[in-house]
Chain A
Amino acid sequence: MTLPKTFILKNSQKYKHAHFAFVLSLALTIVCFFNAYDYQEGLWSVSWSIVTLAYLIGTVLQGVLIQLLKKDLRDKGEIQKRTRVLSTLQLLGITVGNVFITAFAFRVLRKEESIEYTLAYYMLLTNILIFTVSLFNIFKPYVSNTFLPSMSILALFIIFSLITVIIFGKIDLIQGGYSKLKWLGGVVLLAGFTGNLFGFVLGYSILLKTVIRDDSKIDRWNKFWLSITKNFTAMLGLLFVIFTFSISVISYGTFVDRFATENNYASMLMEPSLAYPFGTDDFGRDVFSRIIYGARISLTVGVITTIIPLVIGGFLGALAGYYKNTLDNVLMRILDVIYAVPGILLAIAIIAAFGSSTTNLIIALSVGSIPTYARTMRANVLSVSNLEFVEASKALGESEWKIIFKQVVPNSFAPMIVKASLTIGTAVIATSSLSFLGLGVEPHIPEWGNILKVGSMYLETNPYLAIFPGIAIILLVLSFNFLGDGLRDALDPKLD
């Protein structure tokens, strides 16, 4: 009997999640600890010390929970009630921003994994994070006119998400008989319009299971999302990506443009403080607001420079793969030429010819990545177009275009999505790199690369100007990479 239980322990996603949360929490504790102590003056900062202590308690508790989990799984084969109750304490981690242990606590609290429950608590976490980040605006000299209404709506959303979490903590939609919940689904779907895409997914999931009730669709949906929701790194990536997207939407209501874009010579190069959490730059602009505004540009450029080559490359690749021989050879040889020039250099050449602007940057980066998408699509189409169902539709006399775009392309699209999610990160890096060189987004626009360019000039005196935008880039790119790895596991199990 011991063998199955060690097997359970080894394969328990919750146990792995516990370790992951512990390590990250420990790392954050150490970072906070170094921030709390001032080397030059030998003083302890009170506020940082409190935060460090809070993180330390969370980390220690997490360590205890790991041991408990281990004991539970090894001896009993399942998580005991005492461990669940204890993990409730970890929910408080969100008060100091430790989303890792909070997400873990939410997960352990429910006995069975549930897609709706997971999505609901991630929606709640996103809402709380957005609310907290937006709240920093109250330390500013003044706030925007729409600040109060926006914050009230956000607060309402938090309460609403909390209710959703509690509801789905109790029930399971699989059992059926919850048709009243379709109203909840509709409201959650509406919440998605604040940029909190978890709302869209959750809302659709609820509607799918209460209104549409198409078993094959539900089955496919469950299979995909169970794989994603069980993967804590993918969910963490998704959390940060959606947070970034959502805050770029909500910042229209809660942030004041002037702090980010207009010069203020009274507050030049100020150290980080409550009013200016990331300090101010050489023109007295608030770096915090600039980074939030920069998220819009980075996300937009990153997504567009992924979608354009995805569509063009995918189209060319599909044609090349379906009509083998001549067309394939011609198209792929032409794309080989673009492939031979490194992306950044091609972008530099295009920008040298047509001048630096956001549009040119998008075109320049898109052209460079068409060949890789075309290659991926071609390889997939080559293998799919030999399958029986394609032969069947040929035998039925379908037109070739219909076969390509209704049968072949949808069935060979999964690797393209994986590739896209992995290359959005690269596109974000390329955008900021080119802006950093002065070849990308116009210098007055708060883009992360532009902010870093200013920061690099004050590296010796005001290093925080360069550190914070860099961390923002890393977090966003890392999140996309986590998400991409998760999508690959979910869509393409043979690669795992």
Chain B
Amino acid sequence: MTGARNKEYEQALQKKINIKKESSTYLNLLERYKQQYKNKQQFFHRPVNEKEMNDEAANLANERIQEMAEKELATENLTRENYATFFGKCLEKPLFVIVTFIPGILMYLLLLVYPRPMIRYIAERLVQTLFVIISVIIFVFTILHFSPTDTAANILGEAATMEQREAFNQQYGLEQPYIVQLWDAIKGILTFDLGSSYTGNENVIKTISDRFPITLTIATWSLLMSVIIALPFGIISAAKRNSFWDYSFMFIALIGLSIPNFWQGLIFILTFAIKWNILPATYYPGDMASIIMPVIVLGTGLTASVARMTRSSILEVISEDYIVTAKSKGLLPRSIFMNHALRNAMIPIITIIGLQFGGMLGGAAVTEKVFNISGLGSYIVDKQFIPDIPSVLGGVVYIAIVISIVNLVVDILYAFLDPRIRSEMKKT
């Protein structure tokens, strides 16, 4: 149909052009372009070529005539049929617009999100996090899947018959191809249903959700402790740079970084539980005194690194140009430090704390083993000896997911807090 309509249009156009060519406008145009050519050649000191002149003038005049004809046709509501005009007309009908939402919903969302930098940033980070979470599941599952050990033989013992092993494989879907198992694992993690573990026949998700709170509690307390201790010490060190206190605090912080968690735990048990008998050596649920040592042990490394980070971050900010400006304006050193240096230095510190929180959840495994806490970390360690694949997979992946979400929240908070990031976002 469009073909026929276009033909009609071409005919009308041709007719218009022919009429125009007869008129005096065409001759005027030809004369003008010839003159133009002559002027040009004269300017460049080149000889006038009669044939070239005629061709060029005819071409330019024809182009001009066609343009004029198209314009006149357009005033008579005749245009060449193409995609743009067709859909332009369609969009004038409200029903069509509603129908476009069915295939185009994603595009509409993109258009909605893209011009707003803040929402775009959050959306991008969300998609990225989702990608990371799915990839982590694939990554960890693949590592565990390509284990050279035969799981069935491992768990049922060498004495198990072939039938028993096959039954075991069938029960846990181990005879299926890699892709099917992978899909099951992704589905299982995202819908919180990983089935039961290989040994003990416990529900993996239930065990993990039972054990996660204590790990999270200890990690959170450690985080709080380290922020409360580390920030003041880091600030003092930076304010009194190269003083005795600076050296002492940073030396202690370096020792804190160098102490292995498990050794510190053992020494604490030896000193506070065995020798002085003031704190319980192992953790009992509900006994707040027994949580003190694990919290301190887990938090030591973080405290040390946050203190060092605070110091170096403040020192970096102090050498910035705007601090020099503030000084030259005659602001008191105290108010420069509090209002200009400290506030700006806090921003990288928050990121470090967010990143270190992840490391702490990982490091919790060792601390939990030392203090005999039945948290998620010690669960993964216990299960890896079997090795109980669903439990290890679930434990590792859920911790990674929690860390990814914490980092996502930190990044978004950051975007709200830091005007520099906002202006950066608007630029791109």
Interface residues of A (CB under 8 A from B): 16, 19-20, 23, 333-334, 336-338, 340-346, 348-355, 425, 429, 432-433, 436-439, 452, 455-456, 459-460, 463, 466-467, 470, 473-474, 477-478, 481-482, 485, 495
Contact = CB atoms under 8 A, between A and B. Distances in A.
Interface size range on B against A: 35 or more
Contact of B149 (A344, A348, A355, A473): A355
B365 A344 contact: yes
A353 B387 contact: yes
A437 B366 contact: yes
Interface stretch (B68-76, B84-92, B250-258): B250-258
Interface in B376-394: 380-381, 383-385, 387, 389, 392-393
A411 B363 CA distance: 35
B43 interface: no
Contacts of B136: 337, 340-341
Nearest to B260: A429
Interface stretch (B17-25, B48-56, B137-145, B176-184): B137-145
Contacts of A343: 359, 362
Contacts of A425: 257-258
Between A20, A342, A433, A474, the greatest number of chain B beta carbons within 10 A of the residue's beta carbon is seen for A342
A348 B366 contact: no
A342 B384 contact: no
A345 B396 contact: yes
Contact of A470 (B247, B267, B365): B267
Contacts of B146: 353
Contact of A436 (B131, B366, B380): B366
A433 B260 contact: yes
A473 B263 contact: yes
Given A345-B380, A439-B381, 11 more contacts: A19-B247, A336-B132, A345-B395, A349-B396, A352-B147, A353-B144, A432-B262, A436-B366, A456-B370, A466-B270, A470-B263
A349 B260 contact: no
A460 B274 contact: yes
Contacts of A344: 362-363, 365-366
Contacts of A340: 132-133, 136, 400, 403-404
B290 interface: no
Contacts of A482: 254
B66 interface: no
Contacts of B403: 340, 342
B281 to A, nearest CB: 9
B279 interface: no
Q: Nearest 6 A-B pairs (CB), nearest first?
A: A342-B362, A352-B384, A470-B263, A353-B147, A477-B258, A337-B135
B380 A348 contact: yes
A341 B365 CA distance: 14
Interface centre among A341, A343, A478, A485 (most CB of B within 10 A): A341
Contact of B400 (A20, A345, A436): A345
Q: Could you tell me the dominant secondary structure of chain A's interface residues?
A: helix
A349 B381 CA distance: 9
Interface in B136-174: 136, 139-140, 143-149
B375 interface: no
Interface centre among A334, A425, A459 (most CB of B within 10 A): A459
B172 to A, nearest CB: 16
Nearest to A473: B260
Nearest to A355: B149
A481 B254 contact: yes
Interface of B: 128, 131-133, 135-136, 139-140, 143-149, 244, 247-248, 254-255, 257-263, 266-267, 269-270, 274, 312, 358-359, 361-363, 365-366, 369-370, 380-381, 383-385, 387, 389, 392-393, 395-396, 399-400, 403-404
A342 B359 contact: yes
Contact of B366 (A350, A433, A459): A433
A141 B133 CA distance: 59
Do most interface residues of chain B lie in helix, strand or loop, or is the interface mixed?
Answer: helix
B266 A470 contact: yes
25 contacts: A20-B247, A336-B135, A337-B139, A340-B133, A340-B136, A345-B395, A345-B396, A349-B392, A349-B396, A350-B143, A351-B384, A353-B144, A355-B149, A425-B258, A433-B366, A437-B366, A459-B270, A466-B263, A466-B266, A470-B263, A470-B267, A474-B255, A477-B260, A478-B258, A482-B254
Contacts of B263: 452, 466, 470, 473-474
Nearest to A347: B362
Greatest chain A CB density within 10 A among B358, B384, B387, B399 is at B384
A493 to B, nearest CB: 12
Contacts of B312: 495
Nearest to B134: A337
A345 B403 CA distance: 12
A459 B396 contact: no
Contact of A342 (B387, B389, B399): B399
A355 B147 CA distance: 9
Contacts of A485: 254
B392 A474 contact: no
A372 to B, nearest CB: 10
B266 A456 contact: yes
B407 to A, nearest CB: 8
A338 B139 contact: yes
Nearest to A471: B263
Given A348-B384, A353-B144, A459 B266 contact: yes
Nearest to A337: B135
Contact of B260 (A337, A345, A432, A463): A432
A17 B204 CA distance: 57
A439 B132 contact: no
A340 B385 CA distance: 23
A348 B267 contact: no
A80 to B, nearest CB: 24
Contacts of B383: 352
A32 to B, nearest CB: 19
A123 B311 CA distance: 34
A351 B148 CA distance: 11
Given A349-B144, A353-B144, A478-B254, A437 B369 contact: yes
A438 B362 CA distance: 16
Contacts of A467: 267
Contacts of A473: 260, 263
Contacts of B358: 342
B403 to A, nearest CB: 6
A297 to B, nearest CB: 15
Contacts of A16: 247
B148 A437 contact: no
A316 to B, nearest CB: 16
